[in-house]
Amino acid sequence: MPSGTPQSGVGRTIAGRYLLLNRLGSGAMGHVWRAHDQRLDCEVALKEVVFRNPVEAIEERAARVARARAEARHAAGLRGHPHVVTVHDVLEHEGLPWIVMEYVPGALDLRELVHRRGPLAPVECARIGLAVLDALTAGHERGVMHRDVKPANILLAPDRGGAPYARVLLTDYGISVQPDAGEPRYTLTSALVGTPGYLAPERATGGPPTAAADLFSLGCTLYFTVEGCGPFERDSQLAEITAVVLEEPRPPVRAGALGPLLSAVLVKDPALRITAADTAAALTAIAAPSRPVPVPGSRTRWARPHAPTETSHNPTTGGLTAPPAVPSPPKGQAHHRERAHLLRALLACALSLVLALGGVWYAVVHPSGGGAAKPYGDAVGLARPLKDGDCVVADWPGSPFQGGPPRLTVDPTCSERTPDGQVMALATSPSADEARQQGPDACEQRTQEVREKLADVRGYAIVPTRAGFEAAGRRTACLVLGAHGPVYGPLGGHRKPGMPFVDTADMQKRDCLDAPSLRVARLVSCTGTHDQQVLGFTRLGPDTTLAEAKSLSDAACARDVPPKDYGFDPSRYEAASWTGTSAWLSGTHLVVCTVRKQNGGTMGKDEP
């Protein structure tokens, strides 16, 4: 049975041990599956080498098999690194290698995240860049060049506390190489190694793989992350390669503090390109300007004795220059300052003790009189606990999803105040401490299904305070909120058949729609007749206006979310789309992609 056929999928057991559960994704080398390790009773990811052309030359087959083995070897050498997907084993099944890797639940690659949610903030880009740079540097120290750094090879996943996208993992060492190890180059002579638009110019012109080339690719990746498109993005791969070699990157418009670094890392000449150490210092200053230290896992050699408070681009060298170090004070003056700091610290401790004792005294002498504590504290501001299905309006104290929790108000109509999101689950905990430790992770799991069906949302856990734990019913409220704006109505199972969509923000994958006109869509049951079914989402370019989108979105959906990939016969069905005002107000430019019959007829429950 040829590898890659539908029969080679779900339910197949590999090497008598790994039961394939579902396909996670596909790439140039083959498929990646979620599998159950029947021996250790745990889930793993398996990479399968696929030969789509059964008459591939023997040399090509041998090269791809060797590349798979090389990937396993190189990635295994970085085993245990916090920002590299762990490789457990490489095995052979029916004459082909399978790579057994760490399964990362809830992971989303960076390319897909940006397509779903739009460009990320410079601070978040810097955090991701630091983690990827740390992984690359670890490989470079072993002499391993990645050679294919791009958004699709960077995974973002929840951490142990349930914070979404907190883990950053570099994956796919499938075309990596150790130039100094004398190992074969497992690449066809006619093939260009890497991804057009993310290649360093010296690699595009046939130069050797180097750490500087990986750094250039990382710069292209960061540019995509903060701008929403690649610096050399063109209509064809040939045009992208030409742009990489001959043209300057298009000027960024969203990069902010990241702009000077992007200019320095995208310098054409690798000899003038900024170094990894200076890149790390610059990213650190952006990610944590008040405390410029490397992210966990970073090499301590990246830290500097006097971390710069600001950086500026040096156009003559392509690097970043830091301001001059502040001179040390005279010895006597330094001693005087140390005594002053000590005195202030003692006074602060004494004052803290007085205030703490005063608080205890006040609580004893002036009891609360039995009034119930606010379930989630003064910051959230609610006087009663949230219930499943409550629609909320969120007023963030700063940037959304950063810092403290939002101040919430409940919208009982779930429409009149244009809700920002909805309570989709409640997670019960035995104690306030366990709610704080485990509540976010429980919410991440319970809202994952509905979040994956929507184009632009994020999960958020509203955890009760210790004082309000009982008032909250011992439950953490699991919210799903619009990532860049309101959701305009109820979500998931809280929606009712016949409900009209005010906007596309709450349309979900596999929704069935009654569409009596080009401007009206209602949610209907898929067991009855319907006009369209939602398949997924795509994103139009940042310069596309809403008026232009209405004429371009059908073609974009046919290209990016083709109905044939979902089992719809292309001779009978065609792609359709819906555009909403919210996607243009937020700048995400997300489009809902649907399928409909070419003859305009209705669809039924027997559809794919």
Question: If residue 136 lies in a helix (H) or strand (E), which one and from where to where?
Answer: helix 122-141
Q: Is residue 124 located within the same domain as residue 237?
A: yes
Position 491 scores a pLDDT of 95
Q: Is residue 113 located within the same domain as residue 228?
A: yes
Mean residue pLDDT across the chain: 79
Question: If residue 49 lies in a helix (H) or strand (E), which one and from where to where?
Answer: strand 42-49
Q: What is the CATH number of the domain that holds 201?
A: 1.10.510.10
In a domain? residue 160? yes
Q: What is the pTM of this model?
A: 0.48
Question: If residue 225 lies in a helix (H) or strand (E), which one and from where to where?
Answer: helix 211-227
pLDDT of 591 over the 80 cut: yes
pLDDT of 597 over the 90 cut: yes
The catalytic residue positions are: 148
pLDDT band, residue 27 (cuts 50/70/90)? low
pLDDT of 392 over the 80 cut: yes
The better pLDDT of the pair 422, 566 is held by: 422
CA 202 – CA 209 distance, rounded (Å): 9
Contact 553, 543 (CB under 8 A): no
Q: What tokens appear for 464 in the block? A: 């009760």
Position 315 scores a pLDDT of 29
Q: Is residue 480 located within the same domain as residue 521?
A: no
Residues 6 or more apart in contact with residue 572 via CB below 8 angstroms:
597, 598, 599
Q: Is residue 68 located within the same domain as residue 128?
A: no
pLDDT of 360 over the 70 cut: no
Beta bridge partners of 352: none
Cα R_g (the chain), whole angstroms: 27
Q: Is residue 249 located within the same domain as residue 142?
A: yes
Q: Is residue 420 located within the same domain as residue 538?
A: no
pLDDT band, residue 228 (cuts 50/70/90)? very high
CA 459 – CA 440 distance, rounded (Å): 9
pLDDT band, residue 32 (cuts 50/70/90)? confident
Sheet holding 30-37, edge to edge: 13-14, 18-26, 30-37, 42-49, 96-102, 87-93
- How many structural domains does the chain have? 4
Position 336 scores a pLDDT of 39
Q: Is residue 296 located within the same domain as residue 394?
A: no
Position 358 scores a pLDDT of 39
Position 86 scores a pLDDT of 81
In a domain? residue 356? no
Q: Of 450, 508, 446, 449, give the one whose Cα is nearest residue 477.
A: 446
Residues 6 or more apart in contact with residue 455 via CB below 8 angstroms:
116, 504, 505, 507, 537, 583, 588, 590, 592
In a domain? residue 367? no
Contact 487, 419 (CB under 8 A): yes
Position 459 scores a pLDDT of 93
Q: Is residue 383 located within the same domain as residue 483?
A: yes
Beta bridge partners of 481: 421, 458
Residues 6 or more apart in contact with residue 29 via CB below 8 angstroms:
47, 49, 50, 64, 67, 68, 71, 174
In a domain? residue 52? yes
Q: Is residue 133 located within the same domain as residue 90?
A: no
In a domain? residue 580? yes
In a domain? residue 249? yes
Binding residues: 47
Query: Which residues form the domain of 482?
Result: 377-492
pLDDT band, residue 75 (cuts 50/70/90)? low
Q: Is residue 139 located within the same domain as residue 263?
A: yes
CA 264 – CA 312 distance, rounded (Å): 10
3-state secondary structure of 453: helix
Dmax over CA atoms of the chain, in Å, equals 89
Position 368 scores a pLDDT of 37
Q: Count of CB atoms within 10 A of residue 399's CB?
A: 10
pLDDT of 602 over the 70 cut: yes
Q: Is residue 382 located within the same domain as residue 266?
A: no
Tokens 């639940």: give the residue. 105
Question: If residue 48 lies in a helix (H) or strand (E), which one and from where to where?
Answer: strand 42-49
Q: Which of 321, 343, 364 is the last residue of a domain?
A: 321
Position 367 scores a pLDDT of 38
pLDDT band, residue 96 (cuts 50/70/90)? confident
β-strand pairing of 87-93 with 42-49: unpaired
Express each pLDDT in 493-523 by its tens digit.
899 999 999 899 999 999 999 998 888 899 9
Quickly list DSSP for 479-508. EEEESSS---S--GGG--TTPBPSSGGG--
Contact 303, 293 (CB under 8 A): yes
CB under 8 A, 24+ apart: contacts of 73-82: 74/139, 74/144, 74/173, 74/176, 74/178, 75/101, 75/173, 77/139, 77/142, 77/144, 78/135, 78/138, 78/139, 78/142, 78/144, 81/134, 81/135, 81/138, 81/297, 82/131, 82/134, 82/296, 82/297
With a pLDDT cut of 90, the percent of the chain lying above it is 47
Q: Count of CB atoms within 10 A of residue 346's CB?
A: 10
Q: Is residue 63 located within the same domain as residue 20?
A: yes
Position 143 scores a pLDDT of 79
Q: Which of 102, 117, 132 is the last residue of a domain?
A: 102
In a domain? residue 176? yes
Express each pLDDT in 76-91 by its tens digit.
667 678 898 887 877 8
Binding residues for ATP: 47
pLDDT of 387 over the 60 cut: yes
Q: What is the CATH number of the domain that holds 68?
A: 3.30.200.20
Q: Which of 46, 70, 102 is the last residue of a domain?
A: 102
Quickly list DSSP for 83-126. TBPPEEEEEEETTEEEEEEE--TT-EEHHHHHHHH-PPPHHHHH
3-state secondary structure 55-86: CCCHHHHHHHHHHHHHHHHHHHCCCCCCCECC
Position 242 scores a pLDDT of 92
The better pLDDT of the pair 97, 82 is held by: 82
In a domain? residue 28? yes
Express each pLDDT in 439-453 by its tens digit.
988 898 899 889 999
pLDDT of 606 over the 80 cut: no
The better pLDDT of the pair 484, 57 is held by: 484
CA 452 – CA 454 distance, rounded (Å): 6
